[in-house]
Every structure is written in C-alpha cells, then in structure tokens.
Amino acid sequence: MMTVVFTVYFFLIGMLVTSFTNVVGLRVPVGESIVRPRSHCPNCGHVLGPLELTPVIGYLVLRGKCRTCQLPISIKYPALELLGGILYAYAFYQFGWSMQFILSILLTSLLSILVMSDLAYMLIPNKILLFFLPISLIVRYLSPLENWYNPIIGGFVGFFLLFVIFLASRQGMGAGDVKLFGVLGIFLGPLHVVIALFVSAFVGSIIGLGLLGFKRVERKQPIPFVPSIAVGTLLTYYFADDWVKLYLDLFL
Ligand SMILES: [Zn+2]
C-alpha cells in the first residue's frame, strides 16, 4: 500500500522536477539564469502564474495557448513533464528507497535537460555535463557496485568509442555526443554503454525514417540525436540485463 502512495508521490515529484529541467535545458545553453526572470511568454512577456506553472495541468487549463496573446505553447513541455513523472514513478517502483533509485532519477533528469536543450538548440551544454559528472560518480560509488572499476572504465569506453565514431563520421556526430557518452558510461558501466549506443542508433534510425516518411524533415536535414540517446540509454539501463540473460539462454 505504501509503495503505491510513494509511487504516485514520485510521479508528481517527477513532473515538478521535469518542469524545472525544461527551464534548465532552455536557459543554460544560451547563458541565461535559471531563476530570473520568472517564466514568461516569449512573445508578449506575460509572467506565468502558479496555475499556469503547474506541470501538465497548466498546459491543459490554458488549452495549449498563452492566456494573453494566444501564442501556441509547444506540446514538448507537458509531454516531457508527463514522461518525467512516469520515469520517476517507475524508478521508485523498481528500486524503492535505495541509492539505485537516486541514481535512476539523476540519469532521468540529466537526459531530460539534454533532450530539451537538443530539441531547442541542437546543443549539449558542457556546463550540464560538468555538473552531472562528479555527482554521477559519487552516487554510483554509494550504490551497490559489481566492482570498483566499472563506472570509471564505463566512462572511458563510452567516451573513446564515440570519439572514434566522431573521427570516422566527420559529421552527423557532435563533440557533445562524445562527452555525453563519457558521462553515460559512468552510469551504465562498460558493457551497457556499448549496448546503449547500439540501441540509441537503432531508435534514431527508426525516428529518422518515421520523420522522413511523414515528410516532417528533409533528407540531409540534421535531426536532434539526444532524444534517441535518451530512449536507448533508459531502455538499456532498465532492461539490458534481461536481454543479455535471454541471449545467453538462447545461444549458450
Ligand atoms: Zn503571450
């Protein structure tokens, strides 16, 4: 019973935190403060009140438009907030009160910030990675560990794997992706960070083909890759052990 109560609680917390990480993802890449000015309509400057700031509910109450000037509000914001809520709830449901839970919501929020910033500016800000790098290491070392070297080796594997691809591809892959996979390697460890790369590339190609198919993008137009990385990373984080086990059962 208490598990249900806390799962719902962390669903709400996840939506609140994600409405904050949306602001971080929009403001940090362009050098703006994350506390001032208060959230406002980019068109008419109308400052959002408490109800309008409420995750998801605000969007529904406003029916997706600014109260003053009717400028449409992007569906990205409530969609990410809802997803953040679901992921926080799922992390608690999976791990309960544990460092593993803290690690999971940390990963979720890192990815939410970067998805927002990538969708808005096609950028992965160094500031965000440098902020999460030491925290991820500390929380990883406070969590149950397979062995002491997995987070560190994971970071190096993620970084250098992407660095080689970066050199080979010349374009399509940004330096930000290389550094991001370094940080993801700390969260995932060396085996899972490699799996995460393959899953991300797979998700990315499906999204790319989908967008081309629906004529939402032109061929050659760069598509933000971080949303695919986020999906690939979280799928790997939660399910890769099951995949590896299934694979071993089937083939060995
Ligand atoms: Zn407005």
- For ligand 1, the distance from its centroid to the CA atom of residue 67, given in whole angstroms, is 7
pLDDT at 197: 96
- For ligand 1, the distance from its centroid to the CA atom of residue 19, given in whole angstroms, is 19
> Are residues 114 and 124 in contact, defined by beta-carbon separation less than 8 angstroms?
yes
- For ligand 1, the distance from its centroid to the CA atom of residue 86, given in whole angstroms, is 29
- For ligand 1, the distance from its centroid to the CA atom of residue 31, given in whole angstroms, is 23
- For ligand 1, the distance from its centroid to the CA atom of residue 26, given in whole angstroms, is 17
Co-location of 37 and 107 in the same domain: yes
Q: What percent of the chain has pLDDT over 70?
A: 99
- For ligand 1, the distance from its centroid to the CA atom of residue 199, given in whole angstroms, is 40
pLDDT at 87: 98
- For ligand 1, the distance from its centroid to the CA atom of residue 48, given in whole angstroms, is 10
Token pair recorded at residue 190: 């060396």
Coil vs helix vs strand at 177: helix
pLDDT at 217: 75
- For ligand 1, the distance from its centroid to the CA atom of residue 87, given in whole angstroms, is 31
pLDDT at 171: 66
pLDDT at 240: 93
Is the residue at 197 inside a domain?
yes
Is the residue at 231 inside a domain?
yes
pLDDT at 144: 84
- Which residues face 47 on adjacent strands? 40
- For ligand 1, the distance from its centroid to the CA atom of residue 13, given in whole angstroms, is 27
Is the residue at 250 inside a domain?
yes
Beta-carbon neighbours within 5 Å of ion ligand 1: 41, 43-44, 46, 66, 68-69, 71
> Are residues 234 and 107 in contact, defined by beta-carbon separation less than 8 angstroms?
yes
> What separation in angstroms does the CA of 205 have from each of 113, 118, 216?
22, 17, 14
> Are residues 136 and 187 in contact, defined by beta-carbon separation less than 8 angstroms?
yes
Range of the domain at 168: 145-252
Co-location of 7 and 119 in the same domain: yes
175-213 vs 226-251: helix crossing angle, rounded to 10: 90
pLDDT at 142: 93
pLDDT at 36: 84
Place of tokens 């791990």: 95
Regions of the chain short of the pLDDT cut 70: 171-172
- For ligand 1, the distance from its centroid to the CA atom of residue 46, given in whole angstroms, is 6
Co-location of 109 and 202 in the same domain: no
> What separation in angstroms does the CA of 222 have from each of 25, 38, 174, 208, 216?
19, 32, 11, 10, 12
Coil vs helix vs strand at 214: coil
Indicate the number of domains in the chain. Answer: 2
pLDDT at 173: 76
Is the residue at 129 inside a domain?
no
End-to-end CA distance of the chain: 41
pLDDT at 110: 98
Co-location of 73 and 150 in the same domain: no
- For ligand 1, the distance from its centroid to the CA atom of residue 45, given in whole angstroms, is 6
Co-location of 90 and 159 in the same domain: no
pLDDT at 2: 86
